[in-house]
DNA sequence: CCCTGGCAGCCGAAGTTCTT
DNA sequence: AAGAACTTCGGCTGCCAGGG
């Protein structure tokens, strides 16, 4: 059976295509009775707007693609979850459709099942990138093809891209200073893989604060799982005197909590734990986890606003928004 | 002012005709 | 016979015109 088009509805109702279009789009200046009649025929014939045709006409699909890291979910944490959820809700509220596309910054763009071909073919208007690495091939591709996109995080390769980022240097810095001011003198910082810009920035801020105050410290990259943190915490507590763990990614603090307890130590009397992300669940750890907040709401708000602005304006002056982290004090430090 | 209708043109693929 | 150069096609809406 052939698809019902706006022309069919026009013929069936006896009104013009234009009037039907107005009804579909809830445009003003249609007599109530006309609107009702047309809506009834639309219902009877199960008509819905052809999105392809509409996109062709408007040069706009009102679809946004969210690129997330594909690599076995290895670097995917709860913070991503919260951010995605928040961004999706905000885009939907603004009338955009959302497509999730797993991809990776290290692979070449060759797979036509991913979002890149949709964007290049005009089947989506813009993109939001997560987990950007240096020399990210996805960023190169979007830039080269003049596709509006923003990065969640920092771009070190280009100066003309737009992004929203947390001041991750400051995250490391204020985290270290907070621990130091509370009297801790031997601090360990656990982070994910070094390839991600965010981790290097955090480590740099941390190290500079520790040096400034002459405090013993060490940084461990590439510890991405709760299990990894658990094992490393055990090991460190067995052979060194550590009195504070600073952990990138609240959910991983669970691993440290258990190792610390198993060593017969108390949080925060013997050992402090400071997280990053301020996840909703962190409040219910025992003791409640002190954490550095990323403000997911504000973050996603800025990201969505920036992208929509980019998709609608012709001139593309890059915008870079840096958010300030804030410590949420609970009872683990 | 309120309501309605006509038409161009969005864009790339496929089809058609013209040129060598 | 093969390539170049046009034309058509698809569904929809912004702009403009026109009747009451």
Q: Per-residue pLDDT tens for A201-239?
A: 999 999 999 999 999 999 999 998 999 999 999 999 998
Q: How far is residue A9 from each of residues A1, A6, A45, A50, A223, measured CA to CA in Å? A: 16, 5, 8, 13, 60
Over residues A110-138, the mean pLDDT reads 84
Footprint of strand C on the protein (CB under 7 A): A 3, 5-7, 17-18, 21, 24-25, 27, 49-50, 53-54, 56-58
- Domain match, A180 and A277 both: yes
- Together in a domain, A187 and A276: yes
- As ranges, strand B nucleotides with an atom below 7 A of a protein CB are 2-7, 9-12
Percent of chain A with pLDDT over 90: 76
Is the residue at A268 inside a domain?
yes
Q: What is the pLDDT of residues A33-52, one digit of tens each?
A: 999 999 999 999 999 999 99
The pLDDT of residue A75 is 57
A57 located within any domain = no
Per-residue pLDDT at A193: 87
Looking at every residue in chain A, the average pLDDT score rounds to 92
Least confident range of A102-106, A135-139, A301-305, A309-313? A102-106
State whether A173 and A271 are in the same domain.
yes
| DSSP-derived secondary structure letter, A290 | E
pLDDT tier for residue A196 given thresholds of 50, 70 and 90: confident
Same domain for A68 and A135?
Answer: yes
Strands (E), chain A: 63-69, 97-103, 126-129, 149-152, 162-166, 186-190, 216-220, 244-248, 272-277, 290-293, 320-323, 326-328
Has residue A333 been placed in a domain?
no
Q: What is the pLDDT of residue A83?
A: 95
Structural domain of residue A257, as residue ranges?
A: 168-293
Residue A93 placed within a domain: yes
Is residue A310 domain-resident?
Answer: yes
The Å distance, CA of A160 to C1' of C20, is 56
Q: Does residue A156 belong to any structural domain of this protein?
A: yes
Q: Check: pTM over 0.75? Answer yes or no.
A: yes
The span from the CA of A133 to the CA of A154, in Å, is 9
What are all long-range contacts of A5-11, with beta carbons under 8 Å and residues at least 24 apart?
A: A5/A47, A5/A50, A6/A47, A6/A49, A6/A50, A8/A45, A8/A47, A9/A38, A9/A41, A9/A42, A9/A45, A9/A47
Which residue reads 């009338």 in tokens?
A95
Residue pLDDT, tens place only, A271-306: 999 999 999 999 999 999 999 999 999 999 999 999
A271 and A302 together in one domain: no
- On whether residue A269 sits in a domain, the answer given is yes
Q: What is the pLDDT of residue A101?
A: 86
CA→C1' distance for A110 and C1 (Å):
36
Q: What pLDDT sits at residue A74?
A: 60
pLDDT of residue A224: 85
Nucleotide nearest to A47 (CA to C1'): C11
Q: Is 80 exceeded by the pLDDT of residue A270? A: yes
Q: Across residues A22-41, what is the average pLDDT?
A: 94
Give the SS3 label for residue A80.
helix
CATH number of domain containing A307: 3.40.50.2300
| pLDDT at residue A310 is higher than 60 | yes
Report how many domains make up chain A: 3
Paired sense of beta strands A290-293 and A149-152, if any = unpaired
Q: Does A330 fall in a domain?
A: no
Q: Are residues A256 and A179 in the same domain?
A: yes
CATH number at residue A44: 1.10.260.40
From the CA of A145 to the C1' of B20: give the distance in Å. Answer: 37
pLDDT over threshold 70, residue A13: yes
pLDDT-derived band at A317 (thresholds 50, 70, 90) equals confident
Indicate if A253 and A157 belong to the same structural domain. no
- Looking at the structure, tell me whether residues A115 and A181 fall in a common domain: no
| Residue nearest C11 (alpha carbon to C1') | A53
Q: Quote the pLDDT of residue A135.
A: 86
Q: Render pLDDT for A61-120 as a digit per residue (tens, 0 to 9).
A: 999 999 987 665 565 778 888 999 999 999 999 999 999 888 777 766 666 667 888 898
As a rounded value in angstroms, the CA-to-C1' distance for A130 and B16 is 48
Q: Kindly state whether residues A189 and A106 are assigned to the same domain.
A: no
pLDDT of residue A292: 98
Q: How far is the CA of A136 from the C1' of B20 (A)?
A: 48
Dist CA A193 CA A211 (whole Å)? 23
A225 and A161 both lie in a single domain:
no
Q: Is the CB of A92 under 7 A from strand B?
A: no
* Phi, psi (deg, nearest 5) at residue A328: -105, 110
For the cut 60, the answer to whether the pLDDT of residue A158 exceeds it is yes
Same-domain status, A188 and A284: yes
- Mean pLDDT throughout A262-279? 97
pLDDT at A133: 83
CA(A111)–C1'(B16) in Å? 35
pLDDT confidence of residue A3? 81
């Amino acid at each position: 059976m052939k698809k019902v088009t706006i022309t069919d509805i026009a013929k069936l109702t006896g009104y013009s295509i234009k009037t039907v279009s107005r009804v579909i789009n809830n445009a003003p200046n249609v007599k109530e009775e006309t609107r009702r009649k047309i809506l009834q025929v639309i219902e009877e014939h199960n008509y819905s707007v052809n999105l392809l045709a509409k996109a062709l006409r408007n040069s706009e699909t009102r679809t946004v693609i969210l690129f997330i890291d594909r690599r076995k979910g290895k670097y995917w944490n709860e913070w991503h979850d919260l951010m995605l959820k928040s961004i999706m809700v905000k885009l939907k509220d603004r009338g955009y459709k959302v497509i999730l596309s797993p991809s990776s910054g290290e692979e070449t763009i060759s797979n036509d099942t991913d979002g890149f071909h949709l964007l290049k073919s005009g089947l989506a208007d813009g993109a939001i990138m997560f987990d950007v690495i240096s020399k990210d091939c996805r960023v190169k591709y979007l830039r080269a093809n003049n596709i509006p996109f923003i990065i969640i995080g920092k771009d070190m390769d280009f100066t003309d891209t737009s992004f929203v980022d947390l001041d991750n240097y400051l995250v490391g810095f204020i985290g270290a200073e907070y621990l130091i001011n509370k009297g801790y003198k031997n601090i360990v910082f656990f982070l994910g893989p070094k390839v991600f810009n965010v981790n290097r920035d955090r480590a740099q801020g941390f190290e500079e604060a520790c040096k400034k105050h002459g405090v013993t410290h060490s940084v461990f990259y590439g510890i991405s799982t709760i299990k990894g943190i658990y094992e490393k915490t055990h090991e460190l507590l067995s052979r060194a005197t550590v009195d504070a763990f600073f952990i990138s990614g609240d959910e991983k603090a669970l691993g440290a909590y258990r190792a610390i307890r198993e060593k017969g130590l108390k949080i925060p009397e013997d050992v402090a734990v400071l997280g990053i992300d301020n996840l909703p669940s962190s409040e219910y750890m025992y003791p409640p986890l002190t954490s550095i907040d990323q403000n997911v709401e504000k973050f996603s708000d800025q990201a969505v606003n920036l992208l929509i602005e980019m998709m609608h304006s012709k001139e593309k002056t890059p915008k870079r928004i840096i958010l300030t982290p804030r410590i949420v004090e609970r009872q683990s430090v």
